[in-house]
Amino acid sequence: MEPGESREPREPGPGAETAAAPHWEEAKTFYDNLAPQKKPKSPKPQNAVTIAVSSRALFRMDEEQRIYTEQGVEEYVRYQLEHENEPFSPGPAFPFVKALEAVNRRLRELYPESEDLFDIVLVTNNHAQVGVRLINSINHYDLFIERFCMTGGNSPICYLKAYHTNLYLSADAEKVQEAIDEGIAAATIFSPSRDVAVSQSQLRVAFDGDAVLFSDESERIVKAHGLDRFFEHEKAHENKPLAQGPLKGFLEALGRLQKKFYSKGLRLECPIRTYLVTARSAASSGARALKTLRSWGLETDEALFLAGAPKGPLLEKIRPHIFFDDQMFHVAGAQEMGTVAAHVPYGVAQTSRRTSPTKQAPPAQ
């Protein structure tokens, strides 16, 4: 320092601040681009519509299931560890899950702070070591699934209520029956016989009526007394709402999310569409079904009364991401037409099916 030179810092010259700013902005942009992109937060379970999906519903695990059945759990785990960097192929629930995520993206655009969203939980009785392959597969397909439940051989059904589950989908019929017995909406999902393209921007869900949305009251009358008595009963009780069935709550949850779009003037562009696809006849028994929905404050976007005709051809036109029915005959018919169908094991049709087997659908492996 030269004699007499001040030790105090000099004031920056004119224009120094503005000259440095662009360099700082460029550096910030550079480092922002290097940082991993943030995923949205998972909603709190009590605020969300929670869909619990088993690993064999979400992914195809045919070879893995064969090894487990033929060679046991140790060989199964060893195989999974050896192949943990190979993603599983999509299973029957995969398009449904992708459609749920598409709805979530729209909801986040409209309501950035809301937690009224779908939340997907992967529920499996797999060993925790298999979790790495499942996580790798989820990341490979860019799925947003943050919650896992891996129970190491024990049934996961006891955890479903703790996760606030609105719907449980599995390829294991026994576990689905457990869930139904616990009062949880559940269905066994089946792969279609052929692949059919489904909407990428609109979630489409189709429901049977009796023993799915409604109780099995009317089906019991058909089984016990025949169609003529059933028509008389429905006419006499047209203004008496049916009791609720196992999936009424799930339709209610879908309706709640639909209303968020309606309130923004987007009824016609809503990314959720629901369908009632029933074997009932409109003239003789349709009014009670519609009045029941109205009494609950619910509706479906479309109501299709088939009067006993096959459901498969109409489902082929609708192309739902999933169709729920309590009768395996209709599940198999939907499969043949390329529809992902799910069996709801509830009501009198299940007793009838055990004593008089009908056409069976092959399970999703």
**Ramachandran region, residue 43 (left: φ > 0; alpha: ψ -120 to 50; beta: rest):** beta
Model pLDDT for residues 343-363, shown as the tens digit of each residue? 999 988 786 454 333 344 444
The answer on pLDDT for 174 being more than 80 is yes
Contacts of 157 (CB under 8 A, 6+ apart): 168, 175, 178, 179, 182, 184
The answer on pLDDT for 25 being more than 80 is no
> pTM for the complete prediction?
0.84
| Residue 355: DSSP 8-state | H
Place of tokens 């290097």: 34
**Annotation marks residue 116 as catalytic:** no
Over range 217-239, report the average pLDDT. 83
Amino acid 82: pLDDT? 94
Amino acid 339: pLDDT? 97
For the record, the structure tokens of 317 come out as: 């036109």
For the record, the structure tokens of 69 come out as: 């059945």
Over range 134-150, report the average pLDDT. 94
**Ramachandran region, residue 285 (left: φ > 0; alpha: ψ -120 to 50; beta: rest):** alpha
The answer on pLDDT for 21 being more than 90 is no
Q: Which domains does the chain have, with CATH numbers?
A: 45-189 (3.40.50.1000), 203-347 (3.40.50.1000)
Amino acid 87: pLDDT? 96
Task: Report CA Rg, the chain.
Answer: 26
For the record, the structure tokens of 184 come out as: 């949880």
DSSP 42-63: PPPTTTSEEEEEEHHHHEE-HH
Please tell me which residue, 77 or 54, carries the higher pLDDT value.
54
Over range 222-234, report the average pLDDT. 81
Q: Which residue of the set 119, 172, 208, 325 is catalytic?
A: 208
Amino acid 238: pLDDT? 87
Contact status, residue 321 vs residue 99, Cβ threshold 8 Å: yes
Amino acid 106: pLDDT? 97
- Residue 22: what are its φ and ψ, rounded to 5°? -60, -35
Contacts of 135 (CB under 8 A, 6+ apart): 148
Contact status, residue 344 vs residue 187, Cβ threshold 8 Å: yes
Over range 276-299, report the average pLDDT. 92
